[in-house]
């Protein structure tokens, strides 16, 4: 009987508590569908096709003359920048006295499969900039691009530098060959022509697969174990569900845009070499000569810092700043670190130039 | 055709597929030709295209089988790569934590080791060229299967006088280029108005 193993009663206690949490979860927590992700009040000021230009209502009196337009990524929706009142990127900027606009790319359908980079850069983004210039009676705006939205914003800034007073690139996708992420490995081996020819738009399911291979055990198992363990922690659960809802809502990417994306950025790496065309125009990064602020995250496993940082060195700007933060892709824009460090630093830089 | 028929006991699956493809085409063609003669008298309309449609569908189905062979090859390799890495990672975990955990702290520590090792090893796999290439080929084969399915659907759509995918795409393309031209003109007009207002 000496060799008989003894189970720590705490283990049983933990298992019972965990089971109880799983059973109680639906009583304690809202279903993701019941959560509204658009938290900061705004109005839709312009609609073109499926895109919407959002104008956020000021929280305090606007202190800075130049309005800021945010070009969000093509993957998932813009809600992550306004995910929770305490972690809202937009709200923080409003509290710093900026006038904030956001371009929501909407949800493309099969009919939109021919939309390309030119439509996004010289169509939707340019129309939004024109609208803001008209409304605010300014000749220039400040532009911020996040992730793939920063690639579009970079192309725009290079083609229309006269419209951009300050440019902020947050985790931009720029140098595909230097990108060390799993996403880039999959993109490099993909037959984008065949995908677009066969199914039209890049389906969301493909993106969900890409998400599933990023830290599959931490993100696919442990994350949910933690959720049920902390089911009594209202703040944690609310934040978790908001991010999960955002993660589970990615629109398709228009076929032609996706094709050019994969080929020009990941496979042939044309943008950083100043060889990429949008419409008939060549993108020359040296034409980006206004003040520029680049933000990258060391732990970014979607867009590696090596992929983003070359932009800082390739542009023609003399007034340029590169900031590296000890966080991840989402952590940089929707976390307590973004509220305490990333946004105040960006706000100070932008306020001095707005 | 004597030689083709004699290859009935074909050496490779590819030759076998080619043989059945030929066989199917031969009979559908012959039936189509034969039926087109008396049908001038007997046909009552849309059913006339039945033989032609059957032929197209038969060809697509035969080619689907060809693609399925490739698809199976890549999907087998996909799961082989996953299971190999799983085995290696599990061995690493066993080496790091040989004892059965006895309390909550030990379970937590073991879980952490398991997750870290598995995440690292699988990320290394997903980052590798061999995974990327095989995954690319797998998706490519999946798309080829989808393409055949699309082609079959097109035959059916056309048989009931509905536009095919290509015809709908043409319309989308036309709408897109028209919209693009109109939006560019509108934007230019707005810019011009703004300039003149100054």
How high is the ipTM of this complex? 0.82
Are residues B137 and B187 both part of a single domain?
no
Q: How far apart are CA B141 and CA B67, in angstroms?
A: 6
Are residues B82 and B125 both part of a single domain?
yes
Whether A173 contacts A228, CB under 8 Å: no
Are residues B178 and B111 both part of a single domain?
no
Residue A344 has pLDDT above 70, yes or no: yes
Are residues B104 and B191 both part of a single domain?
no
| Residue numbers of A annotated as active site | 147, 300, 329
User: Domains in chain A, start-ordered, CATH in brackets?
Assistant: 37-186+260-353 (3.40.50.1820)
pLDDT band at B191; cut points 50, 70, 90:
confident
Whether A46 contacts A52, CB under 8 Å: yes
Average pLDDT over residues A82-102: 93
Q: How far is A334 from chain B (nearest CA, A)?
A: 24
Whether A172 contacts A150, CB under 8 Å: yes
Q: What is the mean pLDDT of chain A?
A: 92
Please choose, from the candidates A209, A255, A83, A75, the residue with its C-alpha nearest in 3D space to the C-alpha of residue A151: A75
Q: How far apart are CA B105 and CA A221, in angstroms?
A: 19
Q: Is A137 on the interface with B (CB under 8 A)?
A: no
Q: How far is A159 from chain B (nearest CA, A)?
A: 15
Q: Which domain holds residue B21?
A: 2-162
pLDDT, tens only, B114-161:
999 999 999 999 999 999 999 999 999 999 999 999 999 998 888 888
Beta bridge partners of residue A72, listed in sequence order: none
pLDDT, tens only, A233-260:
988 898 888 888 888 888 999 999 999 9
Q: What angle do CA A226, B105, A7 make, to 5 degrees?
A: 110
Rounded to a whole number, what is the distance in angstroms from the first to the last CA of chain A? 78
Are residues B195 and B177 both part of a single domain?
yes
Question: How many domains, chain B?
Answer: 2
| Helix residue ranges, H only, A142-248 | 148-159, 182-188, 192-199, 204-212, 216-217, 223-229, 234-247
Are residues B133 and B174 both part of a single domain?
no
Are residues B188 and B90 both part of a single domain?
no
Whether A141 contacts A164, CB under 8 Å: yes
Please choose, from the candidates A349, A344, A284, A333, the residue with its C-alpha nearest in 3D space to the C-alpha of residue A70: A333
Are residues B184 and B142 both part of a single domain?
no
Enter the tokens of residue A246: 């955002």
State the angle between helix axes of B104-127 and B129-159 in degrees (0 to 180), rounded to the nearest 10. 70
Q: Is A15 on the interface with B (CB under 8 A)?
A: no
Enter the tokens of residue A227: 């959720």
Whether A131 contacts A46, CB under 8 Å: yes
Residue A352 has pLDDT above 50, yes or no: yes
Q: Look at phi and psi of residue A279 and say left if phi exceeds 0, alpha if psi is from -120 to 50, else beta.
A: left
Are residues B177 and B140 both part of a single domain?
no
Contacts by residues B110-113 (CB-CB < 8 Å, ≥ 24 positions apart): B111/A222
Task: Give contacts of A115 with chain B, Cβ < 8 Å.
Answer: 176
**Closest by Cβ to A185, choosing from B127, B180, B190:** B127
Are residues B185 and B140 both part of a single domain?
no
Are residues B154 and B174 both part of a single domain?
no
Q: Is A27 on the interface with B (CB under 8 A)?
A: no
pLDDT, tens only, B47-98:
566 767 777 888 899 889 888 999 999 999 999 999 999 999 999 999 887 6
Q: Has this prediction a pTM greater than 0.90?
A: no
Are residues B106 and B188 both part of a single domain?
no
Phi and psi (nearest 5°) for B147?
-60, -45
Q: How far apart are CA A204 and CA B144, in angstroms?
A: 19
């Amino acid at each position: 009987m000496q060799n008989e193993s003894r189970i720590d009663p705490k283990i049983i206690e933990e298992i019972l508590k965990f089971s109880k949490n799983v059973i109680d979860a639906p009583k304690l927590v809202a279903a993701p569908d019941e959560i509204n992700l658009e938290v900061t009040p705004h109005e839709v000021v312009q609609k073109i096709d499926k895109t919407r230009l959002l104008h956020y209502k000021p929280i305090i009196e606007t202190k800075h003359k130049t309005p800021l337009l945010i070009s969000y990524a093509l993957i998932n929706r813009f809600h992550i920048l306004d995910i929770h009142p305490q972690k809202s990127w937009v709200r923080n900027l409003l509290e710093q006295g900026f006038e904030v606009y956001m371009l929501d790319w909407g949800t493309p359908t099969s009919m939109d499969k021919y939309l390309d980079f030119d439509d996004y850069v010289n169509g939707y983004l340019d129309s939004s900039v024109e609208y803001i210039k008209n409304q605010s009676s300014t000749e220039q705006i400040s532009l911020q691009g996040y992730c793939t939205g920063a690639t579009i914003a970079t192309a725009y800034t290079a083609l229309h530098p006269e419209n951009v007073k300050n440019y902020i690139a947050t985790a931009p996708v720029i140098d595909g060959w230097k990108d060390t992420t799993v996403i880039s490995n999959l993109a490099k081996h993909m037959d984008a022509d065949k995908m677009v020819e066969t199914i039209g738009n890049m389906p969301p399911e493909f993106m969900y697969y890409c998400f599933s291979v990023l830290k599959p055990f931490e993100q696919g198992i442990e994350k949910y174990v933690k959720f049920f363990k902390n089911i009594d922690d209202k703040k944690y659960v609310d934040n978790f569900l908001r991010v999960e809802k955002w993660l589970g809502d990615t629109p398709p990417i228009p076929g032609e845009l996706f094709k050019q994306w994969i080929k020009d950025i990941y496979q042939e790496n044309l943008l950083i070499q100043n060889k990429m065309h949008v419409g008939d125009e060549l993108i020359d990064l040296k034409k980006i000569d206004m003040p520029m602020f680049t933000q990258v995250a060391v732990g970014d496993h979607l867009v590696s810092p090596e992929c983003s940082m070359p932009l800082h060195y390739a542009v023609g700007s003399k007034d340029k700043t590169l900031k590296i933060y000890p966080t991840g892709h989402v952590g940089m824009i929707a976390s307590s670190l973004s509220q305490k460090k990333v946004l105040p630093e960006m706000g100070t830089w932008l306020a001095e130039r707005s | 055709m004597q030689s083709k028929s004699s290859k009935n006991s074909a050496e490779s699956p590819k030759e076998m597929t080619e043989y059945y493809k030929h066989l199917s085409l031969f009979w559908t063609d012959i039936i189509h030709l034969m039926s087109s003669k008396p049908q001038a008298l007997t046909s009552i309309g849309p059913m006339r295209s039945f033989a032609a449609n059957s032929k197209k569908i038969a060809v697509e189905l035969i080619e689907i089988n060809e693609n399925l062979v490739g698809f199976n090859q890549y999907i087998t390799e996909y799961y082989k790569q996953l299971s190999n890495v799983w085995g290696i990672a599990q061995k690493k975990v066993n080496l790091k934590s040989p004892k059965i955990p006895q309390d909550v702290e030990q379970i937590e520590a073991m879980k952490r080791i398991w997750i870290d090792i598995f995440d690292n090893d699988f990320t290394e796999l997903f980052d590798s060229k061999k995974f990327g290439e095989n995954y690319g080929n797998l998706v490519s084969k999946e798309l080829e299967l989808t393409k055949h399915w699309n082609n079959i659907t097109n035959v059916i759509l056309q048989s009931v006088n509905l536009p095919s995918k290509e015809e709908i795409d043409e319309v989308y393309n036309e709408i897109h280029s028209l919209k693009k031209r109109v939006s560019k003109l509108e934007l230019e007009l707005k810019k011009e108005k703004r300039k003149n207002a100054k």
